[in-house]
Structure 1
Amino acid sequence: MERIPPGQIVTERFPILTYGEEPRVTPERWRFSLWGLVETPLTLTYPDLLALPQVELTRDFHCVTRWSRLDVAWKGVRVRDLLERARPKPEAVAALVHSYGGYTTNLFLEDLLREDVLLAHTLFDKPLPLERGGPVRLVVPHLYAWKSAKWVRGIELLDHLELGFWEKLGYHFRGDPWREERFQEGPIPAASLRFQSRKGGREG
């Protein structure tokens, strides 16, 4: 399988792209919640996150603006592990990710359940810096990077697709780099995608 998605250029740099001001969130103030269509809502502090089983992984990072950075090393907690604790209800098929500062992005539950989707607090063996979304960001390496929300504060499970910030402005509702799902063309086939998510769908 090709390593670089179509239309991408590999860079040794690691550009920082942020819309608006960077929220100033310290580890002491950081809180993460998992709520919505779950049996057991969760709230975590930063020490709570560090006390959970930790995962180190290296994945490529693909930005919709056409650059790719290879072999990015993260450390954090699998979102799948948190979802197992929260126990999504049967009708939950999608999520809206919330960040400090008001940013949102949407994901399907099947995407969040992949084993390499993390709440990451460490980048290249150092605490995640503020400008890269610290103290904690979401990392969804199989989708374009705008889905990897910086300064994440919560995940809300839903029974429908609710578009996030960039998706409302015309970005694709899913963002698979291998399909070049950069921008939405035509209406979103919400009904069929809800069914696809329930059945497992295609993983990018």
Structure 2
Amino acid sequence: MTQLRIEGEVSTPQAFSFSDLTRLPGQIADVGQFIPGRDGGGVRLRSLLERVSPADSARYMTLESSDGKFSASLPITAVQDAIVAYRLGDAPLPTKKGGPFRFFIPNVEECAVGEVDACANVKFLGRLHLSHEPGRDVRPTSPVSHQAHHEQPGHEHLPKD
């Protein structure tokens, strides 16, 4: 069973399955109302954080893909309105949509433009790690590295539906 793990500087590290996520408060029926061109349902990040009780010292969140190859580290304060998409209809979010879990931050800058950019909308999300310092961040930092990253198999920009 695929699970989304939240660990690090938290009181209660947890792993959430699809069915666990369906039972949380803060459900979003259609992520497209916040992220134009996207579809599926999700849950607000703050609902997940309430379950794990971040330590006061936790200032950063590192988002890691399930294969561990991609990660982005962001200030927790900058992603308070984020959504974890996990379903399409009543089924898990398919891989072709970035599932089984995908991180979405409403109203972000284009990739390689700011600290919180569209490349932090991590596909194939497997783990959130909270810490007092920034964690591993492999997001592209220039237009050339951004293009090269998205030319790799599995890292293409997903089409907006």
TM-score, structure 2 length as denominator?
0.71
Q: Which structure is richer in relative contact order (CA contacts within 8 A, separation 6 or more)?
A: 2
Specify every segment of 5 or more residues in structure 1 that has no aligned partner in the other structure, as ranges.
1-28, 61-69, 172-181, 183-204
Partner of 1:93: 59
2:71 maps to which of 101, 104, 126: 104
Give the distance between the partners of 2:51 and 2:102, measured in 1 at CA: 20
Q: What is the DSSP-based 3-state SS (H/G/I as helix, E as strand, rest coil) of the residue aligned with 1:72?
A: coil
Contact conserved, 1:105 with 1:164, CA < 8 A, in 2? yes
Alignment root-mean-square deviation, CA: 2.3
2:125 maps to which of 143, 152, 166: 152
Give the distance between the partners of 2:120 and 2:90, measured in 1 at CA: 22
Partner of 1:46: 18
Partner of 1:65: none
Specify every segment of 5 or more residues in structure 2 that has no aligned partner in the other structure, as ranges.
109-116, 147-161
TM-score, structure 1 length as denominator?
0.57
Partner of 2:4: 32
Give the distance between the partners of 2:51 and 2:77, measured in 1 at CA: 16
The structure having more radius of gyration, on CA atoms, is: 1
2:79 maps to a residue whose letter is L
- How many residues matched? 131
Describe how 1:61-100 pairs up with structure 2 within 5 A. Answer: 70-100=36-66
Percent sequence identity is 27
For residue 132 of structure 1, report the CA deviation from its aligned partner. 2.1
1:131 counterpart = 2:96: yes
Q: What is the DSSP-based 3-state SS (H/G/I as helix, E as strand, rest coil) of the residue aligned with 1:165?
A: coil
Partner of 1:13: none
Moved over 4 A (4+): 123-127
